[in-house]
Structure 1
Amino acid sequence: MRETMKSMSIKSIAALLLACGALSAQAAPEQVKMRWEVLRTELNPQGNRTHARLSVTALRGQSLPAQGWSLYFNCMEGVLTGPLPGHLVLEQVAGGSLFRVRPTAGFKGLPAGRTLNVDYDYPGLIIKMARAPLGPYLVFDAAPDVAYAVSDFQLQLPTRPEQLKRPAGRNTLVTPQDVYQHNARADVLPATALPPLFPTPLALKAGTGRVQLLRAPQVISGPGLQNETAFARSLFARYLPQGDTSRAAVPLRLRIGAVDGQVSPEAYELTIDANDGINIIGNTAAGVARGLQSLHDLLPLPSDAVQIELPELEITDAPRFAYRGFQLDVARNFQPKDVVFKTLDLMAAYKLNKLHFHITDDEGWRLEIAGLPELTTIGAVRGHSAKEGVRLPPTYGSGPRADDPHGSGFYTRADYIEILRYAAARHIDVIPEIEIPGHARAAVKAMEARYRRMQAAGEQGAAKYLLNDFDDRSVYKSPQEYTDHVINPGLESSYAFIEQVVSQVASLYREAGVPLKTMHMGGDELPHGAWEQSPVSRALMQKEKLTTTADLWDYFYNRVDGILRKHGLYSSGWEEMGARRSAQEGGQQQPNPRFTQRGFSLYVWNNTPGNEDFAYRLANAGYDIVLAPVTNMYLDMAANPNPEEPGVNWGAYVELDTVYDFKPFGASLTDTGRRHIRGIEATLFSETIRDASRLDYLMMPRLLAVAERAWAADPAWAQEPDATRAAALHRAAWSGFVNVLGQRVLPRLDLERGDVRYRIAPPGMVVEGGKVLVNHALPGLTLRYTTDGSTPTIRSKVFIGPITARGVIQAAAFDRTGRAGLVARIVNR
């Protein structure tokens, strides 16, 4: 060691001492900075490939030695591992998305101030930046538990032709001219021609007069409407905080009563009359609440006006679907309680009524469960560790720190009860999802750590909740690259675990005073090969005379359903829970006849080619169905293939009109099948969501199209058999939708909240006759432009007509808070 020290610089010695923990890690200087870029894409009939580069620069004298360090990072969907140029090797770490680069024999070290180019390859093409490396950190072998996060890390958007090669007709870039033509499918409407209400009501009869409110109305409510009364008062306090108290207040009556001709508990009648004031009657309190949201939508945008005018009208309204859902994933990347509250507020504002709460997955368990503390002390924590069983590895860019707010985190029992009560006050059901038997690595590893802790301490019952068979030699890999994430159905302890979780979740609802009718028990993406070489699973199959692992699947969910029924719950899960594949692996899925009469509610996500009608075949077979199709309702999908658009693209690209144009009822549905379609749900998995603004961006305004399609009656354009007539009806309806969003719904959100950073799409731009024309998907947002190639700001010129200037013209849309959207660029020569 002494001879080695002689050959090292003083700064290198300091770096080694820091790595060994001899100096405070908090005082450690930044070791390296990094930059990533796509070098080029390679189109090949045998398989496309992307060549990428990580540029690593040693800083402040912190030279990297020839050996004894590793650079870790996450990469979604994997990279090609193995030896790299320059005496380096790229390795996958313990499955999943964690990789590392380390030196091999022959590497000479990286002197301070020098840059090391790490060139490596991806299978396929890099279309979305979601596949870029994230969360890099450096670890020295001398102190394997000490990690140094790389904070100076730049991702370069692909812009050069060699970086953007795409197969003909696939993943092609969307140009400003494309956007302009797409936007031109809608007409710009004057404010007087906007639909009066969003979402579209069942029936609206307009009156002839107006009702003036010079002060807040007098709220008169019947029993059982405490929350609705409080909402009504707060609503008008915002608009008329003072008012003219010398004038008599217009009455606002809220009452639970029968709505003629409507059986939905959310049906309501809203009347506004100059002589009788404002009246809202709902079949239940939920109906009154939906009526109040409609009254809210009829109010003018917030202003300094001292009075409000409302139109006389009569509305009878009820939802098309009883289930109108949004799935929020807090397992992949955690979101704090306040973000959940904000999400519930948005759902209530647009009459969505089911929060599908994805609280467990491979990468995180986010709910405290009494009796199983490891689920949160280990399963809810991600960060670097050289030891197994301490925490989960970094994933989705969470980095090495165990206190990263999105990699780590969970809801306490008190938190969850607060969420339940907040949702119940808004008449939103929270449906918890416990992912089993796949997508369960957080639980599997937590219960394995529990077993080893108790076994080492000599405690009884160490294996009581164990989820994996240590002798399992099954070979499988999940789409997320895991090989050790599956709950084993051959272990009785697996069912003891599920029973404990279900009973504790049910107890939270009882304590909150909120009914629980179902739990979502996962079921998706169990990889082929799982369970096949597990001795305990094979022993169970022999005991129960089960022939295949498909039979074992049925046995497993039969027992899971029994556990739920014991607690008075029906079973919900992804489509695979009620599916069977044909004998040849990879064959078309078929409805599983075993569970058709068990009341299972299946959430069908896979409508990719070859599976377009699977939801309808399941419904025809007798399963209750929630439609959550990836090609229309997965809001984690990017809007288009352009690199600057966040999100993923494994299933589709989902623009606003992709959601709006979804037709829930397919031609293959029987009359019985139609009755089994419970509703629709938008899904937002959070692999790419590291902050609340990204959540907003991906969720809104596409969630508004979900709200329209779920609440409003089947639109006329969807029923019209004549293509020309259907196109005209669609244009009229689409024009009304985008105009009401751009002129009223989103401006109200800006002015009333100001904290929803929804996607503001780039404008469309074309050059016609030497002039630049600009339009936007949402008429009503302000368009600003520059003519010198600079980025538009709130002080830039407002677009009011054709731009005659020559040169580089850039334009962007702005919301009512002055926030700019993506910039479009065109050259007028």
Structure 2
Amino acid sequence: MNLPLIPAPAATTTSAGTFVIGDGLGIVVQSAELADLAARFVEDVQIDAGIALSLAASADITVLIDSAGIDDVAPASGLRADGKDLADERYGLEITSAGVRVWGPTAEAVHRGLTSLRQLITAYAQDGSAALPTARVIDGPRFTWRGLSLDVARTFHPPTVVRRVIDMCALYKLNVLHLHLTDDQGWRIEVPSRPALTEIGADGAIGDRPGGHYSRAEMSELVAYAAERFVTVVPEIEMPGHTAAVFRAYPELAPGEVRSIDLGNGASLQLSTLDPDRPETWAFVDDVLAAVIPQFPQSAYVHIGGDEAFGMPDEAHAAFVERAVELVRARGKRVVGWQEIARASIGSDEVVQYWMDVHEVESMDYDAVSSMVPAELLPILAEGLKKAAHDAPRALAQGSRLLVSPTTWLYFDRPHADASSDAAQEELRKRVGLPVYPAASIRDGIEWDPVENTPGVESDAQIAGVEAAVWCETIATADELEFMLLPRLAGAAEKAWSRQTSTDWTEYAARLGRQSTIWQQRGWRFLRSVEIDWA
């Protein structure tokens, strides 16, 4: 019997029998550090399943710190965004006819176990109770960095929306939210010494969408909200390219002539970058790092972008990356950057985020691309794609680990291929998603492997983790964002956590269909794919 859990657990045994979860059932924690986790679990189960549990002396559900049996699952590979070396997320979950036990060696591990229990309760909930099958689960992640990159520059998503995304990540045991805070279309974070960044640079977004930024108080609340759910928020400050918002705010940082290409969709692509030979450039970067880093105390990393520095000579780009890395290191943090940073001299502490996968480049329909993008952009794109094939091998040769985010499987701005059973969603499906990408099905998102499908990678040890990305050129609202995230986010979590290198579609689809109860209870919009038998 396969339990309706996503991601799939490492080891599961089931037996005949049930234990009924109903109103008033008591939860006992055996250490004070687990009290807040249990209280949040009670709140979540009330929302998701409509069942009112209680924090009481009756031990129907026992939650404790314990390491029994977890060594049956190997420790995870990769790097943690919070930099912790000894964190352990392996947990045990046992359901018998007498009650439930959830345990793990750390509070984080217990949280993962409670998340699995929460999914089970919701999947089996009916008429105010849930008859859970008796089972034993021993589980732990394959990779330690499991994330989502969220673009808040092209569309500014307010804190209420970001909290909903954090809730989605936590439900599927993703532990990183990478915020893409700056781009040509907007600057979304406060830098007190550079007030024009938010006064001018945050004004507007792509096309005629409203702008905005996160105050320091709002960012602090978001970071704390995520941390309570064991999600680390990693900031990205784009440099040296994607800096049109910077140049609007501080024209003196711009080159004498700023070049851009009109993309015809309300956006333009800037071909000008920060200049590594100008002292004022580095005064600006240092001011930004000084203001941004303290706002993310849980993150051991700062994402410096580094991608698509169009029009910048390779030598200048490499020089910029190397200087930016030094400045981040000097402030006690480590660097993650898009795969183009591998063209500079970097070290083993730097994480390279692989996105332009060879499969995508080789299968691209260049005739279709040429009909969608301006003619003057085509040679620039061709040059970038040619260089991209060497990025992952170069990163690995320098001792860096890859954060795997291939466009083919993990870019969620790709159009949905699956038809929807909802006619209104069919209209939405036609207009949301970048048309330059071929449409992708839900099945596409789980039929690949981070090691097998990443060039030059031979083992889990070369991978920092797995991270999906959602870009918002075509996504203007919270509903559209959720529509593109679900059910894909569950598939990304499956590939990042589960130790199954090959996922059976029929079995996965059955587990996925049971997840929609939570989504509907939470009011989350999702693609009602006709390929899935939804609960």
Which TM-score tier does this pair reach, normalised by the shorter chain?
0.7 to 0.9
SS at match of 1:520: strand
SS at match of 2:443: helix
Structure 1: distance between partners of 2:531 and 2:135:
30
Structure 1: distance between partners of 2:146 and 2:474:
24
* 1:252 lines up with 2:58 in the alignment: no
Structure 2: distance between partners of 1:240 and 1:226:
21
Structure 2: distance between partners of 1:474 and 1:373:
22
Deviations 1:162-193 (A, max 9, x none): xxxxxxxxxxxxxxxxxxxxxxxxxxxxxxx6
Q: Is the 8 A contact 1:267 1:318 kept in 2?
A: yes
Number of the residue aligned with 2:517:
747
Aligned counterpart for 1:336 among listed residues 125, 149, 158: 158
Deviations 1:116-161 (A, max 9, x none): xxxxxxxxxxxxxxxxxxxxxxxxxxxxxxxxxxxxxxxxxxxxxx
Structure 1: distance between partners of 2:532 and 2:453:
32
Amino acid at match of 2:485: M
Number of the residue aligned with 2:284:
497
Aligned counterpart for 1:360 among listed residues 182, 185, 193: 182
Amino acid at match of 1:747: T
Amino acid at match of 2:146: R
Alpha-carbon distance change, 629 to 242 in structure 1, aligned in 2, over 3 angstroms: closer
Structure 2: distance between partners of 1:614 and 1:329:
23
Structure 1: distance between partners of 2:480 and 2:55:
44
Counterparts of residues 529-540 of structure 1 (less than 5 Å): 530=312
Structure 1: distance between partners of 2:151 and 2:455:
30
Alpha-carbon distance change, 644 to 206 in structure 1, aligned in 2, over 3 angstroms: same
Structure 1: distance between partners of 2:217 and 2:127:
42
SS at match of 1:308: strand
Amino acid at match of 1:779: D
Q: Report deviation, 1:312.
A: 2.0
TM-score by length of 1: 0.54
Amino acid at match of 1:272: I
Aligned counterpart for 1:639 among listed residues 399, 416, 421: 416
Structure 2: distance between partners of 1:245 and 1:343:
27
Q: Is the 8 A contact 1:620 1:670 kept in 2?
A: no
Number of the residue aligned with 2:306:
523
Structure with the largest fraction of helix: 2
Amino acid at match of 1:601: V
Number of the residue aligned with 1:697:
483
Q: Report deviation, 1:194.
A: 5.3
Structure 1: distance between partners of 2:449 and 2:304:
27
* 1:233 lines up with 2:42 in the alignment: yes
Q: Is the 8 A contact 2:271 2:309 kept in 1?
A: no
Q: Report deviation, 1:621.
A: 4.3
Number of the residue aligned with 2:392:
615
Alpha-carbon distance change, 500 to 248 in structure 1, aligned in 2, over 3 angstroms: closer
Alpha-carbon distance change, 619 to 305 in structure 1, aligned in 2, over 3 angstroms: same
Amino acid at match of 2:75: V
Q: Report deviation, 1:634.
A: 0.8
Counterparts of residues 702-717 of structure 1 (less than 5 Å): 702-715=488-501
Alpha-carbon distance change, 690 to 289 in structure 1, aligned in 2, over 3 angstroms: same
Aligned counterpart for 2:507 among listed residues 736, 745, 748: 736
SS at match of 1:224: helix
Alpha-carbon distance change, 653 to 378 in structure 1, aligned in 2, over 3 angstroms: same
Structure 2: distance between partners of 1:242 and 1:517:
38
Aligned counterpart for 2:319 among listed residues 546, 551, 555: 555
Q: Is the 8 A contact 2:253 2:281 kept in 1?
A: yes
Counterparts of residues 418-567 of structure 1 (less than 5 Å): 418-448=221-251, 466-470=252-256, 481-483=268-270, 485-509=272-296, 514-528=297-311, 530=312, 549-567=313-331
Q: Report deviation, 1:649.
A: 2.6
Alpha-carbon distance change, 210 to 482 in structure 1, aligned in 2, over 3 angstroms: closer
Q: Is the 8 A contact 2:26 2:55 kept in 1?
A: no
Q: Is the 8 A contact 1:326 1:356 kept in 2?
A: yes
SS at match of 2:146: strand
Alpha-carbon distance change, 738 to 554 in structure 1, aligned in 2, over 3 angstroms: same
Number of the residue aligned with 1:217:
26
SS at match of 2:41: helix
Structure 2: distance between partners of 1:655 and 1:299:
28
Q: Is the 8 A contact 1:621 1:673 kept in 2?
A: no
* 1:757 lines up with 2:534 in the alignment: no
* 1:570 lines up with 2:334 in the alignment: yes
SS at match of 1:678: strand
In the alignment, structure 2 segments of 5+ residues that lack a partner are 77-87, 363-387, 419-425
Q: Is the 8 A contact 1:469 1:491 kept in 2?
A: no
Structure 1: distance between partners of 2:51 and 2:414:
42
CA-based RMSD of the aligned residues comes to 2.9
Structure 1: distance between partners of 2:511 and 2:441:
17
Q: Report deviation, 1:467.
A: 2.0
Deviations 1:332-362 (A, max 9, x none): 0111100000000010001111111001000
SS at match of 2:479: helix
Structure 1: distance between partners of 2:290 and 2:145:
25
Q: Is the 8 A contact 1:478 1:525 kept in 2?
A: no
Number of the residue aligned with 2:352:
602
Amino acid at match of 2:300: K
Q: Is the 8 A contact 1:628 1:683 kept in 2?
A: yes
Amino acid at match of 1:565: R
Number of the residue aligned with 1:169:
none
SS at match of 1:211: strand
Structure 1: distance between partners of 2:413 and 2:135:
39
Aligned counterpart for 2:438 among listed residues 652, 657, 678: 652
Q: Is the 8 A contact 2:189 2:198 kept in 1?
A: yes
Q: Is the 8 A contact 1:219 1:252 kept in 2?
A: yes
SS at match of 1:263: coil
Counterparts of residues 128-277 of structure 1 (less than 5 Å): 195-214=3-22, 215-237=24-46, 239=49, 250-255=60-65, 257=67, 259-261=70-72, 262-264=74-76, 265-275=88-98, 277=99
SS at match of 1:710: helix
Structure 1: distance between partners of 2:160 and 2:436:
30
* 1:778 lines up with 2:532 in the alignment: yes
Structure 2: distance between partners of 1:477 and 1:280:
56
TM-score by length of 2: 0.83
Structure 2: distance between partners of 1:370 and 1:256:
46
Structure 1: distance between partners of 2:54 and 2:494:
37
Alpha-carbon distance change, 253 to 648 in structure 1, aligned in 2, over 3 angstroms: same
Q: Report deviation, 1:209.
A: 2.7
Structure 1: distance between partners of 2:54 and 2:430:
51
Alpha-carbon distance change, 524 to 477 in structure 1, aligned in 2, over 3 angstroms: farther
Q: Is the 8 A contact 2:190 2:214 kept in 1?
A: yes
Structure 1: distance between partners of 2:463 and 2:326:
24
Q: Report deviation, 1:430.
A: 0.7
Amino acid at match of 1:573: G
Q: Report deviation, 1:233.
A: 2.6
SS at match of 1:210: strand
Q: Report deviation, 1:645.
A: 4.9
Deviations 1:525-558 (A, max 9, x none): 1113x3xxxxxxxxxxxxxxxxxx3222222122
Number of the residue aligned with 2:366:
none
Alpha-carbon distance change, 626 to 248 in structure 1, aligned in 2, over 3 angstroms: closer
Q: Is the 8 A contact 1:615 1:627 kept in 2?
A: no
Q: Is the 8 A contact 1:477 1:527 kept in 2?
A: no
Counterparts of residues 784-803 of structure 1 (less than 5 Å): none
Alpha-carbon distance change, 478 to 599 in structure 1, aligned in 2, over 3 angstroms: farther
Deviations 1:395-446 (A, max 9, x none): 6331xxxxxxx43111000000000000000101111110001001101221
Q: Is the 8 A contact 1:631 1:653 kept in 2?
A: no
Amino acid at match of 2:336: S
Structure 1: distance between partners of 2:307 and 2:135:
47
Alpha-carbon distance change, 475 to 357 in structure 1, aligned in 2, over 3 angstroms: closer
Q: Is the 8 A contact 2:342 2:394 kept in 1?
A: no
Structure 2: distance between partners of 1:195 and 1:664:
24
Q: Report deviation, 1:493.
A: 1.2
Alpha-carbon distance change, 358 to 437 in structure 1, aligned in 2, over 3 angstroms: same
Alpha-carbon distance change, 599 to 241 in structure 1, aligned in 2, over 3 angstroms: closer
